[in-house]
């Protein structure tokens, strides 16, 4: 019966997955992902704001402005975040997610307090998830492992 030879320690520590996308695909994703998410968010906010009523020009304008602001903020958080320490990086995602969720809920004619609590709950979930992810994928100085 044949057995695999044990791998050296260096090979065992380098367990990175291969990057199957070209640098051009990554560059396009840096533009396409914020735009796509912004359009979805803008449509959602506009739909919440009209509350089942007819689509108007002001509603379309609100949706596109909301999409633009969301896309710009998402791109900024996405690009600025990796330059920060893991605690601040997770806190940045907390602030972005909490405020985006709170704004979305506030457009559906619910109270400001309810919007705040749901935004805080969503942001806290993201804070815990992102901190855990960054804590397990970085060393103590903030450099990515691998």
In the structure, what pLDDT confidence band is assigned to residue 82 with cuts at 50, 70 and 90?
confident
| 144 φ/ψ angles, rounded to the nearest 5 degrees | -65, 140
Residue 5, pLDDT score: 63
The residue among 90, 116, 113, 88 whose CA lies nearest residue 102 is 116
In the structure, what pLDDT confidence band is assigned to residue 74 with cuts at 50, 70 and 90?
very high
72/11: higher pLDDT: 72
The residue among 31, 53, 132, 50 whose CA lies nearest residue 89 is 132
Arithmetic mean of pLDDT, 42-52: 90
């Amino acid at each position: 019966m044949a057995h695999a030879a044990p791998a050296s320690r260096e090979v065992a520590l380098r367990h990175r997955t291969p990057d199957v996308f070209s640098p051009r695909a990554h560059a396009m994703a840096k533009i396409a992902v914020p735009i796509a998410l912004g359009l979805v968010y803008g449509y959602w906010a506009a739909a919440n704001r009209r509350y089942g009523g007819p689509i108007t020009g002001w509603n379309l304008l609100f949706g596109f402005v909301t999409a633009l602001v969301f896309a710009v903020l998402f791109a900024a958080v996405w690009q600025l975040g990796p330059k920060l320490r893991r605690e601040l990086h997770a806190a940045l995602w907390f602030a972005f997610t909490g405020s985006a969720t709170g704004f979305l809920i506030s457009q559906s004619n619910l109270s400001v307090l309810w919007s705040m609590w749901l935004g805080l709950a969503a942001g806290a979930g993201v804070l815990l998830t992102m901190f855990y992810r960054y804590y397990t994928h970085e060393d103590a100085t903030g450099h990515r492992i691998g």
